[in-house]
Amino acid sequence: MQQKKVTITVGANGKMTIETHGMKGNECTLATAMLESKLGKVEDRQLKAEYYAGDGGIKLKEELKDK
């Protein structure tokens, strides 16, 4: 099992990036929520394939409409 960790990188321009490793589904957003709230506004979010893998399956959003 891969170790779970969060990497924070601060660029020379002061821009920060937060990246998670070893997490699936919304586990990554839960792990970074406190950091994001303390560090300021999230300008961009790029979700990795692991986010959509969740519990081993692929998450699909399906909307059913009544006819």
The answer as to whether 37 is a domain residue is yes
**CA atoms of 12 and 43, how far apart (whole Å):** 17
**Tokens of residue 2, six digits:** 């891969």
Q: Is residue 38 part of a domain?
A: yes
- Provide the pLDDT for residue 66: 57
pLDDT at 6: 93
Are the C-beta atoms of residues 25 and 51 closer than 8 Å to each other? yes
pLDDT tens digits, 41-63: 888 888 888 888 765 555 555 55
Note the pTM of the prediction, 2 decimals. Answer: 0.67
Specify if 62 maps to a domain: no
Q: Name the amino acid, one letter, at 40.
A: G
Q: Report the number of secondary-structure helices (H) and strands (E) in the chain.
A: 2, 2
Better-predicted residue by pLDDT, 53 or 7:
7
Considering the domain boundaries, does residue 31 fall inside one? yes
State which residues form the domain around 27: 5-53
Residue 66, in any domain of the structure: no
Give the pLDDT of residue 57: 53
58 in any annotated domain:
no
Three-class SS state of 30: helix
Number of domains in the chain: 1
The pLDDT, as a whole number, for residue 65 is: 57
Q: Are 22 and 5 in contact (CB under 8 A)?
A: yes
